[in-house]
Chain A
Amino acid sequence: MSAVLIKDASKIYDDGERKIIALDRVNLEIKEGEFTCLVGPSGSGKSTLLNLIGGLDKPSSGEVSIGEKNLSVLNSDQLAELRLHDIGFVFQAYNLIPVLSARENVEFVMHLQGLSAEERRQKAMDVLAKVGLAGLEDRRPGQLSGGQQQRVAVARAIVSRPKLVLADEPTANLDSKTARNLVLLMEELHHKEGITFLFSTHDPVVVELADRVIKLHDGKIAEDEIKIK
């Protein structure tokens, strides 16, 4: 079954003086359980595509669907609900909430989902242990290293078992060893939990470990390689 289905999606930015085509009639299907990465030079449309898939932005034309939900017909509250329940995000700059501890950051999404305090705490502790942060649950982001913060971000993204995790250059701010460990962790979670991951990246480690590599160029899919492992 499709985790993501994109039909003829374009995104054009118009600043009044000129039009920039960030995505040009993209068609793409990502199946459930894939570990896919989007590659391409800066400006090729990777982040724009992730934003459309994440319901953070709307295409100028075409359709984006997550599972059976067509994002074009959803209003801002419905899109927020979709992101809350079906999509996890991992950002390049970690983007943890600085006034919350690692555990509270992970619990935040479950808070919004209305889970009980006990359930939230249990799940948060479990997932933090899974990403190797047992014992650091009460530290705030400022007290964690970049790699540890990104692990918290991964824990936050997967804790409520979303259908899809979108990771926008998650290793860009990490050293190569930390980056490799983080990608290996996500690959392990993908295998064990069956979570669909979609990365945008320049990092060869991510490309090496991905099942499928989609190359974007000038807003178009230039190459789509499915690896046989």
Chain B
Amino acid sequence: MKSIGVLLVLAVRSLSRNKIRTLITLAAISLGVMSAVLLSAFAKGLSYGMAENAIKTLTGHIQIHAHGYLDDPSAELSFSELNQKDLSALKSGGVEKIAFRIRIPAVATSERESAGVTIVGIDPQQESGMSFISDAVRQGEMIRNPAEPGVVVGKDLLRVLKTEIGRRIVIITQDATNKIVDRGFRIVGVFESELKSTEKGFIFMGIATAQEWLGLKDKVSEAVIRIESVKDSRPAAKKLGEILPQLDVRPWQDIEPLITSLTQVHDGFLVIWFLIVIVAISFGVINAQLMSIFERTREFGVLMALGLKPKQLIVLVGMEAAVILIVGTVLGDMLGALGYAYLNRGLDLSGFASASEHLGFARIVYPHFSLFDWTLCNVLLLVIGILGSLYPAYLASRLNPVEAISGRGKE
């Protein structure tokens, strides 16, 4: 269109005519965009924090079990540690690190209290860089070798059992033949964790100790795997599943379905929030455009008399909306970036510890920038905002030039 340049000049200068209205509209757009950008970063930070917590705690990127173990995590459903051939195949399948564990539900009792727990038999060497436990012992000592007889318990479990480091607790569970077995273990270390539920729910012991006690010989309950990038967990799990068809290979998303569901809920909530913000902004822009059109009826009539076609008038009004939307969106993105930079040091949610604990949120949430969410928010705002401005633009194009020039309004 030959006239696009002059229409753009007219659009930009017309916006500067009523500065207060333009600034108010810009402020509404910017704040809306900023809130959407920050909320997206916060929600993504929550989801990523939950996933990161779970992965760092014990889940890893991929887990391997005997078929049926996830439904019935008993000692009976264990599998032999992988042979050298399988391990080589896993390495070639992208596995960076692997740890084998015994993981069985049990009951721990002290002289005064008892609690349901999960006993986790580990090789301390394999857990280094794999799970939180290698760096989490705050009192006493970490188990040094797989055959060490002591156990490491969580700080909160210590409180629940009303016992202390150096004392013995009795753990009752079922062995490989489903027989109830119990044994006393001395508490050699106390760990702390991001989540109280972890501190309350797990007891760590040497894997060889657990195998010997439960009659598992060289068998394990699970193999936990870390790969290079968490994003590749699902395809990597599929690939490993093909290498080990006799075993159940799952990515972390399947192991922690609550986190996956919450992430989906967050994403859905974000889209709804985006739409609410964008529709509210669009109403503001439409209102400002309508006011502008009613104030400039005479001018539009003159433009039509000079030879401006109705569709060019639609372009002019649409451009005004587009300019204010683009400037407001850019300002909102900049404010969002500033807010993101400020919150990037972490948002401390420990004041809501019990609520966040229940949902598995981290105590400190680090916002996470999502290019997809940012693009979605910006594009939706521009598209819906400009589409909304077509209504006032249509009204302008329907003006009768004679009535408009005389200031009598629309057709």
Identify the closest chain A residue to B14 (Cβ): A99
Can you name 14 extra interface pairs (CB under 8 A) apart from A89-B306, A99-B13? A54-B305, A56-B304, A77-B310, A80-B308, A85-B307, A91-B302, A91-B405, A97-B10, A97-B302, A98-B17, A100-B10, A112-B6, A112-B307, A114-B2
* Given A80-B304, A97-B10, A97-B302, also A111-B405 (CB < 8 A): no
Interface string of A74-103 (1 = CB under 8 A from B): 001100110111000101010101111000
Check: B401 CB closer than 8 A to any chain A CB: yes
Report yes or no: B401 in contact with A100, Cβ–Cβ below 8 A: no
Q: Which 4 A/B pairs are nearest by Cβ-Cβ distance?
A: A84-B307, A99-B13, A114-B2, A111-B6
Identify the closest chain A residue to B306 (Cβ): A109
Q: Nearest Cβ distance between residue B310 and chain A, in whole angstroms?
A: 6
Report yes or no: B401 in contact with A56, Cβ–Cβ below 8 A: yes
Identify the closest chain B residue to A156 (Cβ): B306
Check: A218 CB closer than 8 A to any chain B CB: no
Select which of B2, B5, B405 is within 8 A of A95 by beta carbon. B405
Identify the closest chain A residue to B6 (Cβ): A111
Check: A51 CB closer than 8 A to any chain B CB: yes
Within 8 A of A (CB), among B1-60: 2-3, 5-6, 9-10, 13-14, 16-17
Q: Nearest Cβ distance between residue A53 and chain B, in whole angstroms?
A: 12
* In the bound complex, CA of A55 to CA of B10 (Å): 24
Within 8 A of B (CB), among A31-75: 51, 54, 56-57
Identify the closest chain B residue to A109 (Cβ): B306
* In the bound complex, CA of A153 to CA of B136 (Å): 82
* B interface residues with partner A (beta carbon < 8 Å): 2-3, 5-6, 9-10, 13-14, 16-17, 298-299, 302-312, 400-402, 405
* Given A80-B309, A112-B3, A112-B6, also A95-B17 (CB < 8 A): no
* Chain A residues, Cβ within 8 Å of B305: 54, 56, 83, 89
Between A and B, 6 residue pairs with Cβ closer than 8 Å are A56-B402, A80-B308, A83-B307, A95-B302, A112-B3, A112-B306
Report yes or no: A111 in contact with B14, Cβ–Cβ below 8 A: no
Interface residue total, chain A, C-beta cutoff 8 A: 28
* Chain A residues, Cβ within 8 Å of B405: 56, 91, 95
Identify the closest chain A residue to B305 (Cβ): A89
Within 8 A of B (CB), among A103-161: 104, 107-109, 111-114, 156
Q: Nearest Cβ distance between residue A85 and chain B, in whole angstroms?
A: 7
Report yes or no: A108 in contact with B306, Cβ–Cβ below 8 A: yes
Report yes or no: A112 in contact with B14, Cβ–Cβ below 8 A: no
* In the bound complex, CA of A107 to CA of B304 (Å): 15
* Chain B residues, Cβ within 8 Å of A57: 400-402
* Chain B residues, Cβ within 8 Å of A54: 305
Select which of A56, A91, A93, A97 is within 8 A of B303 by beta carbon. A97
Select which of A51, A97, A104 is within 8 A of B402 by beta carbon. A51
Q: Nearest Cβ distance between residue B42 and chain A, in whole angstroms?
A: 42
* Chain B residues, Cβ within 8 Å of A89: 302, 305-306
* In the bound complex, CA of A77 to CA of B1 (Å): 14
* Chain B residues, Cβ within 8 Å of A97: 10, 299, 302-303
* Given A57-B402, A114-B2, also A81-B10 (CB < 8 A): no
* In the bound complex, CA of A99 to CA of B13 (Å): 6
